[in-house]
Chain A
Amino acid sequence: MSRAEGSEPLIQTRRLTKRYDTLTAVDHLDLEVRPGEIFGLLGQNGAGKTTTILMLLGLTEPSSGSALVAGLDPTRHPREVKRRVGYLPDAVGFYGGLTGRQNLRYTARLNGLTGAEAESAMAAVLDQVGLTDRADDRVETYSRGMKQRLGIADALVKAPDILILDEPTTSIDPLGVVEILELLRTLVQERHLAILLSSHLLTQVQSVCDRIGIFAAGRMVGEGTMARLASLFGDGSAAIEVDIEGTDAAEIKRAEAVLRGLPHVTDVVAPTGRSTTWHIAVRPATEETSVRSAILAAAVGNDLRLTSLRPLVPSLDDIYRTALHRRGLADRAIAGGKTAA
């Protein structure tokens, strides 16, 4: 078991490419996912996420380049790879006439698990996804979110080293999403899995992933932790939120003048209504720490009753748009309707 070593990547691709007749679905992709890590593959529909996943599972052959999953080439050893990878497909389906448990039992048997071994594995994963009570109901009576959770149980029943989840949170209500993301976190901690998840929902990826790869038109346009992506693709500005006591007009005017007077502050948005939160924009982003110190000093000097001060992490939405824009891919990737900022 390579589990204990920790540092060897469980998923590794080198210049992985998939071409269809005219379309290049995946273009020279380099990707690494290590055990104990959640990697988020972020991209619009049609960006090549699912194609990448299918290549990792050996269900589609790459046109060029290579992939190693659990140390094996999925094209040449598909069964061994699939034995060690749990996969939750996009829009997962189950046999509606069978119960949740029967569906899992089928998967367990296909993975060589039978008898008591299989039953205990099934009970464990059903408990983990919170479906124990409904396990013996037919799947056709399940809600979308329950099916999704059953899908995760189905991917886990083979005790995989790697979990690949394709759009695990689509069409689930917000509460369900939180549950699923928490479950993934727990799994990584408990089982030290490597998780690769794809999504087009930025905020969810942001909240659960250790590292993120931004994927557009088959290419990885940016990859790394949130902080790294922010420094790479931030628009060069940073933001700070400040809470200052006092909501009457005179006080607000005075505070605004003080804050606007600080160096590197490009904009100040005063609170409205009963809120006390100020929004301060800083440019360049590298001056963000010095501006924070300056705000503290100014608050002391001008008798502003500061109650809190915090830097704002740039949201993935902004990073995503900038990343696409900078690579000149925005037009291609964002088809119709939405426009890049």
Chain B
Amino acid sequence: MSAETPAVRRTRQPKPAPKPAPASAPLPAEVETDATPRLPAGWRIIASKEFSDHILSVRFFVLLLVLGLAAAIPLYFAADQIRSVAPQASGSRAVFLALFWFGSPDISILTVATFVAIVAPLLGLAFAFDAVNGERSEGTLPRLLSQPIYRDDVINGKFAAGLAVIGLVLVAVVLLISGFGMLRLGIVPHGEEVIRLAAWVLATFLYVALWLSFGLLLSVAVRRAATSALIGFGIWLVFTIFGPLIVTLVQGFVTPGGNATADQVLGAVQVREFISRLLPSQLYADISNVLLRPDFGLKNLSTPGTIGQYQQSQQQIPGINSLDQSLLLVWPQVVVLVALTVACFAAAYALFMRQEVRA
């Protein structure tokens, strides 16, 4: 969390701001003038208020329900499948994780990982799309900003609260799924699976954080909450549902004819890869697959950038990636997700700092 993003000029007092005293702590030594009693870190107070608002809000329950259902349905199919193949799979390195990517044999998208990938962005958007413009339309923003806080405390606090809530929801859902798996399948995850699962939760968290910061940007840039919600969900739809279609479309345009040279073919592939690497949904799908499935082939990733790598990946013998290999594989995707998140948040931050207080 960048509580002190240096993007915009700030006017800190020369003395270090008194650290926020825990509620029970006695009065700390007064470093301020007598007229100014200790001032707590504004973003923490805002974050804790926003957090409790979120937890008690209707949308929290709705999202928990939606995400729970999204996980429960594929889980039902996965469990049946796993039970039927489990005897042969004994000795496989990640039977437990199959809960998350196994689905119905008939419907390929019916897996926990896919459903989470579809629903998770909603989680981020839902807790951010009205963060700032909601305060504006309620008329609470001028009152909030006239309290002894810095202006960025508002946006930092809201971002922090959003992160906390989505973290809570994700951990809760994954624990529920795991608990179900252990009870129904009688399989307990072993050490490496736990780490993979934790990494996957972390990656999902990152992905949701990207949508959270994007929602925050919308809430600053767009005056009306309804409009920002509409834009947010529209873009979610485009990326999540139509994302692969866009890639295919672009591929259709750039694919060279039959007598193309190797360079031309490579160029076309690189364009396609570049496009798909810009799609957060594709990045997350890559991360998710690699982390949850040790046997996931390199050739399905959108990473190869040179013809050599491409050839290698085509010729790769199916194998099982060890944990560190998997982490190494997803590293670029993780970096891009972080970069996109930071970019969205920085844009929201800068815009908010420059906006007029008045609506």
Contact = CB atoms under 8 A, between A and B. Distances in A.
Interface in B35-77: 35-40, 42, 45-46, 49, 53
A77 B144 CA distance: 17
A112 interface: yes
Which residue, B35, B139, B147, B356, has most C-beta atoms of chain A within 10 A? B147
Which residue, B13, B32, B142, B145, has most C-beta atoms of chain A within 10 A? B142
Contacts of A92: 139, 142-143
B136 to A, nearest CB: 9
B150 interface: yes
B357 A96 contact: no
Contacts of A77: 11, 13
B140 interface: yes
B148 interface: yes
A93 B32 CA distance: 31
Contact of B11 (A50, A78, A115): A78
A1 B13 contact: no
A54 B357 contact: yes
Which residue, B32, B33, B40, B143, has most C-beta atoms of chain A within 10 A? B143
B358 interface: yes
B356 A107 contact: no
A95 B140 contact: yes
Nearest to A79: B148
Which residue, A78, A82, A151, has most C-beta atoms of chain B within 10 A? A78
B138 interface: yes
A88 B46 CA distance: 20
A43 B277 CA distance: 57
A109 interface: yes
Interface in A28-59: 50, 54, 57, 59
Contact of B139 (A87, A89, A106): A89
B357 A110 contact: no
Contacts of B260: none
Given A93-B138, A106-B49, A60 B40 contact: no
A2 B33 CA distance: 12
Interface string B1-39: 000000000010100000000010000000011111111
A97 B35 contact: no
A3 to B, nearest CB: 10
B138 A80 contact: no
Interface residues of B, number: 32
Interface in A106-142: 106-107, 109-112, 114-115
B149 interface: yes
A75 interface: yes
B146 interface: yes
Contacts of B147: 82, 107, 110-111, 158
Interface string B108-131: 000000000000000000000000
Given A79-B13, A85-B146, A89-B143, A97 B53 contact: yes
A91 interface: yes
Contact of A109 (B40, B53, B143, B150): B40
A83 interface: yes
Contact of A115 (B13, B23, B32): B23
Nearest to A1: B35
Contacts of B32: 80
Contacts of A223: none
Contacts of A167: none
A161 to B, nearest CB: 8
Contacts of B36: 79-80, 83-84
A156 to B, nearest CB: 13
B35 A112 contact: no
B148 A96 contact: no
A154 interface: yes
Nearest to B359: A91
Given A79-B39, A79-B150, A110-B148, A91 B139 contact: yes
Given A92-B139, A114-B23, A79 B34 contact: no
Contacts of A85: 146
A70 interface: yes
Interface string A1-40: 1100000000000000000000000000000000000000
Given A93-B140, A111-B147, A75 B11 contact: yes
B138 A95 contact: yes
Contacts of A80: 13, 32-33, 35-36, 148
A115 B148 CA distance: 18
A88 B358 CA distance: 13
Contacts of A327: none
Contacts of B357: 54, 59-60
Contacts of B358: 50, 54
A94 B140 contact: yes
A76 interface: yes
Interface string B135-176: 000111011111111100000000000000000000000000
A112 B146 contact: no
Contacts of B53: 95, 97
23 contacts: A54-B357, A59-B357, A60-B356, A77-B13, A79-B36, A79-B148, A79-B150, A80-B13, A80-B35, A80-B36, A82-B149, A83-B36, A83-B37, A83-B39, A87-B143, A89-B143, A89-B146, A90-B142, A93-B138, A93-B139, A106-B49, A107-B147, A111-B39
Given A59-B146, A78-B148, A83-B148, 19 more contacts: A54-B358, A70-B35, A77-B11, A79-B39, A82-B147, A85-B146, A87-B142, A89-B143, A89-B146, A93-B143, A94-B140, A95-B138, A106-B45, A107-B143, A110-B42, A110-B144, A112-B38, A112-B39, A158-B147
Interface of B: 11, 13, 23, 32-40, 42, 45-46, 49, 53, 138-140, 142-150, 356-358
A-B pairs, 9 with minimum CB distance: A93-B139, A89-B142, A87-B146, A110-B147, A83-B148, A79-B148, A93-B138, A82-B148, A93-B140
Interface of A: 1-2, 50, 54, 57, 59-60, 70, 75-80, 82-85, 87, 89-97, 106-107, 109-112, 114-115, 151, 154, 158
